[in-house]
Structure 1
Amino acid sequence: MLDDPTLLIPVDASEPDDPALELVELLRPLRIVVLGYYPVPDQAAPQQLSEEYEDEATAALEACARRFADAGVEVESVLVFTRDRVQTVDRVGNEYGCDAVLTTGAVGSLNHILVSLKDETNMFRVLEVVRLVMMAGDPEVTLFHAESVERGSARSELYLRGATDWLVDRGLDRDAITWVEPTAETQESELRELAGDHDFIVLGESEPSVRERVVGDLSNRVHDRTGKPVLTVRRER
């Protein structure tokens, strides 16, 4: 279970975008750490870039963090000049005890949230974030069972029904929650299709497969396909 969940939001400090107000409102219940990462080309020295651009990058990062602070969100910010964004995100996430990482994207309305549940050991961490997000707004939620089981199996139904009951027991509207059971053969393609029809996607972090090591993890593939914001709930460290 999560106690006072903390969300890490990586922002390219060389080309920062202010987070959409709708996204700020949705994430209000979470503590926020804004990571301003400044990409360092292989041929450049991090110290040199830091000396040249630190003031500019710091001002941009502070403006981004202020957008959350002005909405009453507890927020911290950290600036890093780095050659390896992924490594930096993981390191800063560990240092600040972050429970989830947000990949920002195009935001219109945030009325429909897709939640992919797979790893049973991480399920309740994902659901706790979903609970907080649903309490902050009034979205409809689709629970997706991303597991290699046959459609309509008793195990899949039990898993999704249990997740729904957990949210309802904590005061959420059962009518706002639906679920989808994919087949083993179509689970990722169905997830990407569903993601295109939703405004915001929540995934649980899992151990990387060989495919993910080669072509990138699922959250990146979903984001690249849809351009929508994707929140990945990290496994317990």
Structure 2
Amino acid sequence: MPERPSILVPLRVLEGESIPEGVPELLTNAHVVLLGYHVVPDQTATDQARSQFEDQALRRLNDFTAILEHAGATVESQLVFTHDGQTTIDRMTDEHDCLAALIPNATRPVENVLIAVRGIVSIDRFVRLASGLFATIGVNVTLYHVAAENETDEDVETLLDGIATRLSDEGISQDAIDIQISRGGSPQEMIVDASDNYDAIVMGESDPSVSTFLFGMTADQVAKQFLGPVFVIQHEELDDLEATDNE
């Protein structure tokens, strides 16, 4: 049986966020790093917020842990009070060696998963996540790539066929793997357009850029339009991040 992939599930634990319908079943075969976090105003000390809200936050975090464990996941939870939510998510993903972070939107029972492959970057992580989560539950997987102008169909097919072979070697049936190539639009728009018949998306994180800081991460934009859960595969190495949290 494939190794359980480690997945970070971040929740703003004091702001009404919870584990949406269908997500516990989606994570049945995962090792979940459940991050309950609360963003504290810059003028407020994180120690002060922790002393005031820790008990309430821990109760909610323990409830979510029980839900995930009941569905079959293994769970380690951590509560963080921070001034910077995204830095906390990035740092926790790195510290716990998570393959991906989950944007946990609600989903129906998972039958079809779209895996948006950008290139050769982090392919091993795509394979480990997909096989670990889906090899034993009969999910159909579509390997999807938006081809650049300088990419031939033959090049893309070679890439995707190689990934399909590795997934098959890791326990996903060849009959459950499909390949799809698109051209002619931005990757974000094409992924959303292709996602109508899928229950979850797996995609890589975006490289930092001016547009990222202005409009948010591409994965977040996809999740807002798709409305289902999105696994965001992390790059192989993350930059060193300043520990700004009080844990």
TM-score, normalised with respect to structure 2:
0.86
Offset of residue 35 of structure 1: 0.2
Output the amino acid matched with 2:199. D
Which residue of structure 2 aligns with residue 211 of structure 1?
211
Question: 225-234 or 2-11: which moved more?
Answer: 2-11
SS class of match (1:141):
strand
Whole-Å separation in 1 of the counterparts to 2:187 and 2:60:
40
Change beyond 3 A, Cα 1:121–1:3: farther
Which residue of structure 2 aligns with residue 18 of structure 1?
19
* Contact 2:136–2:172 (CA under 8 A) maintained in structure 1: no
Q: How does 1:169-208 map to 2 (within 5 A)?
A: 169-183=169-183, 185-208=185-208
SS class of match (1:181):
strand
Which residue of structure 2 aligns with residue 93 of structure 1?
93
Change beyond 3 A, Cα 1:196–1:43: farther
Q: How does 1:71-90 map to 2 (within 5 A)?
A: 71-90=71-90
Unaligned 5+ residue runs, structure 2? Answer: 238-247
* Contact 2:37–2:79 (CA under 8 A) maintained in structure 1: yes
Offset of residue 197 of structure 1: 3.0
Whole-Å separation in 1 of the counterparts to 2:208 and 2:32:
25
Which residue of structure 1 aligns with residue 124 of structure 2?
124
CA RMSD of aligned residues (A): 2.2
Offset of residue 171 of structure 1: 3.0
Deviations 1:132-172 (A, max 9, x none): 22224222111111441468621111111222222223332
Change beyond 3 A, Cα 1:191–1:129: same
Offset of residue 44 of structure 1: 3.5
Which residue of structure 2 aligns with residue 54 of structure 1?
54
Question: 164-173 or 41-50: which moved more?
Answer: 41-50
* Contact 1:204–1:234 (CA under 8 A) maintained in structure 2: yes
Output the amino acid matched with 1:96. H
Output the amino acid matched with 1:18. I
Which residue of structure 2 aligns with residue 67 of structure 1?
67
Output the amino acid matched with 1:38. H
TM-score, normalised with respect to structure 1:
0.89
Offset of residue 43 of structure 1: 4.5
Output the amino acid matched with 1:224. K
Whole-Å separation in 2 of the counterparts to 1:234 and 1:186:
21
Offset of residue 224 of structure 1: 1.2
In the alignment of these two chains, the number of paired residues is: 235
* Contact 1:146–1:188 (CA under 8 A) maintained in structure 2: no
Offset of residue 119 of structure 1: 3.2
Which residue of structure 1 aligns with residue 245 of structure 2?
none
* Contact 1:150–1:183 (CA under 8 A) maintained in structure 2: no
Change beyond 3 A, Cα 1:44–1:195: farther
Q: How does 1:30-49 map to 2 (within 5 A)?
A: 30-49=30-49
Deviations 1:57-84 (A, max 9, x none): 0110111111122334221100011221
Change beyond 3 A, Cα 1:28–1:209: same
Question: 122-131 or 52-61: which moved more?
Answer: 122-131
Offset of residue 179 of structure 1: 1.8
* Contact 1:37–1:80 (CA under 8 A) maintained in structure 2: yes
Unaligned 5+ residue runs, structure 1? Answer: none
Whole-Å separation in 2 of the counterparts to 1:72 and 1:178:
28
Once the two structures are aligned, what percentage of the paired residues are identical?
29
Whole-Å separation in 2 of the counterparts to 1:183 and 1:135:
29
